[in-house]
């Protein structure tokens, strides 16, 4: 064989390999999601489902992250052409402001398998609050995935729930070196600022939403003072190891997300350790993670189908069961399916008012009419309306991002 023929043959083989996989982005779906944030069976099934619906093959290229800001940096520099990203609400707001998102072309998905409308109206309304301007319809750019609150995971063997009615618990010397803090400065700031300005809230001088949304030097300084006062009680700043530390009894309290709380409660129960979760009276943040399509995505069609697939009630239930977080799925077309699995009078004797999420009207489930104001649901998953009414939504910090991060770093290194 001549040398030129050999070169051509090698190039042909390389091109053939590329067209069958490798860098063939037309048949790849690149996803960036939180670690441990999906049921692996659901993820694997999508490839088969997509082929059934479109006649096209797709391979999921899946990567994970553990800090919102770190993941966003990868998006902003544009070195990775992700088709899907699952950040938190304030990151979505920032991406909207910076024109880093493509609109979700729902018309790409066949009407016969339309699941987008399964998202609870409550979630859609909350997402709209992230609009950078009045003429932006946030639902055109993102679809919710999971949601929850921030509170305390605690061990009742060492901690009385009555001691946790206030975020002031982190200042209590009896918890010296027994508190873990979630290493997420936006989440921690957003709850501690409610404690720092609790008197002003009670006097009607400021709302929780204003405190969380409008970041000022005065408010950052007040939060810093509280956190510095808690340094002797804080044993560590964790992203994911808190659940294990709580189960082992090395920590008694963990300021954390409700989903991590549920996961920790279940893991601890397997070794006969009791853990619980509570949201202090001053209030909290209600947070949301959602699917977005970055501006430089290469496979928009598969990304859109994937979002729709995640909105199926059966997949939402599988994901919830696996990861311990609660899905945003609960709209009128999906509420009965969700409640058929989640409403359980035998397991949850006390009821919660989840009418904010499932709507005001009774819902028929297996021939029984359920009152959304009195459902037998896991209160870690579905907080009572009285708690939700005391929660605020986090927003993009904008130019205040740097002073928040500076405050956080100073608190962490302080002795």
1-50 residue pLDDT tens: 333 333 333 333 333 333 344 468 889 999 999 999 999 999 999 999 99
Q: Which fold has domain 27-147+289-327?
A: D-Maltodextrin-Binding Protein; domain 2 (3.40.190)
Nearest alpha-carbon partner for 328 in 116, 150, 109: 116
Give ranges for CATH 3.40.190.10 in the chain. Answer: 27-147+289-327, 148-286+390-413
Look at residue 302 in the predicted model and tell me its pLDDT.
Answer: 98
What are 156's two structure tokens? 């009742």
Domain 148-286+390-413: CATH superfamily, name plus number: Periplasmic binding protein-like II (3.40.190.10)
Distance CA 106, CA 41 (A): 24
- pLDDT for 23 equals 63
Give every CB contact of residue 202 below 8 A, 6+ residues apart in sequence. none
Q: Could you report the per-residue pLDDT of 284-295, keeping only the tens digit for each?
A: 999 999 999 999
Q: What pLDDT, in 10s, does the model give residues 152-181?
A: 999 999 999 999 999 999 999 999 999 999
pLDDT at 82: 96
Map tokens 């609150």 to a residue.
149
Q: Over its length of 415 residues, how does the chain's per-residue pLDDT go in tens digits? A: 333 333 333 333 333 333 344 468 889 999 999 999 999 999 999 999 999 999 999 999 999 998 898 999 988 887 789 999 999 999 999 999 999 999 999 999 988 789 999 999 999 999 999 999 989 999 999 999 999 999 999 999 999 999 999 999 999 999 999 999 999 999 999 999 999 999 999 999 999 999 999 999 999 999 999 999 999 999 999 987 777 889 888 899 999 999 999 999 999 999 999 999 999 999 999 999 999 999 999 999 999 999 999 999 999 999 999 999 999 999 999 999 999 999 999 999 999 999 999 999 999 999 999 999 999 999 999 999 999 999 999 999 999 999 999 999 999 999 8
Q: What is the pLDDT of residue 240?
A: 76
Query: Which pLDDT value is given to residue 242?
Result: 79
Of the candidates 114, 118, 89, 278, which has an alpha carbon nearest to the alpha carbon of residue 190?
A: 89
């Amino acid at each position: 064989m001549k040398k030129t023929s050999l070169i051509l043959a090698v190039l042909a083989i390389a091109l053939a390999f590329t067209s069958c996989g490798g860098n063939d982005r037309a048949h790849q779906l690149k996803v960036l999601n939180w670690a441990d944030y999906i049921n692996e069976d659901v993820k694997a099934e999508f490839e088969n489902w997509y082929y059934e619906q479109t006649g096209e093959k797709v391979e999921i290229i899946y990567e994970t992250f553990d800090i919102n800001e770190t993941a966003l940096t990868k998006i902003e520099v544009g070195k990775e052409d992700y088709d899907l990203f699952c950040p938190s609400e304030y990151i979505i707001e920032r991406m909207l402001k910076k024109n880093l998102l493509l609109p979700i072309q729902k018309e790409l998905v066949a009407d016969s398998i339309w699941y987008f409308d399964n998202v609870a109206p409550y979630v859609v309304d909350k997402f709209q609050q992230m609009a950078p301007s009045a003429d932006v319809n946030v639902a055109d750019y993102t679809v919710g995935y999971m949601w929850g609150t921030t509170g305390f995971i605690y061990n009742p063997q060492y901690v009385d729930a009555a001691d946790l009615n206030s975020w002031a618990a982190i200042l209590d010397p009896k918890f010296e070196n027994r508190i873990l803090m979630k290493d997420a400065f936006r989440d921690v700031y957003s709850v501690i600022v409610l404690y720092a300005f609790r008197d002003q809230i009670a006097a009607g001088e400021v709302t929780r939403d204003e405190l969380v949304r409008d970041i000022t030097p005065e408010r950052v300084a007040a939060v810093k003072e509280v956190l510095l006062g808690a340094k002797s009680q804080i044993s560590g700043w964790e992203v994911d190891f808190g659940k294990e530390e709580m189960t082992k009894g090395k920590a008694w309290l963990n300021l954390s997300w409700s989903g991590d709380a549920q996961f920790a409660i279940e893991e601890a129960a397997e070794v006969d350790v009791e853990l619980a979760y509570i949201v202090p009276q001053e209030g909290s943040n209600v947070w949301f993670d959602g699917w977005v399509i970055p501006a430089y995505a290469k496979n928009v069609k598969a990304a859109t189908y994937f979002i729709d697939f995640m909105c199926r009630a059966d997949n939402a239930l599988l994901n919830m069961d696996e990861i311990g977080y609660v899905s945003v799925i609960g709209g009128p077309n999906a509420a009965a399916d969700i409640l058929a699995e989640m409403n359980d009078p035998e397991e949850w004797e006390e009821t919660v008012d989840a009418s904010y999420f499932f709507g005001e009207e009774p819902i028929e489930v297996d021939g029984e009419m359920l009152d959304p104001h009195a459902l037998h649901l896991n209160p870690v998953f579905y907080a009572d309306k009285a708690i939700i009414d005391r929660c605020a939504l986090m927003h993009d910090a904008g130019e205040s991002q740097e002073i928040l991060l500076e405050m956080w770093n100073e608190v962490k290194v302080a002795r």
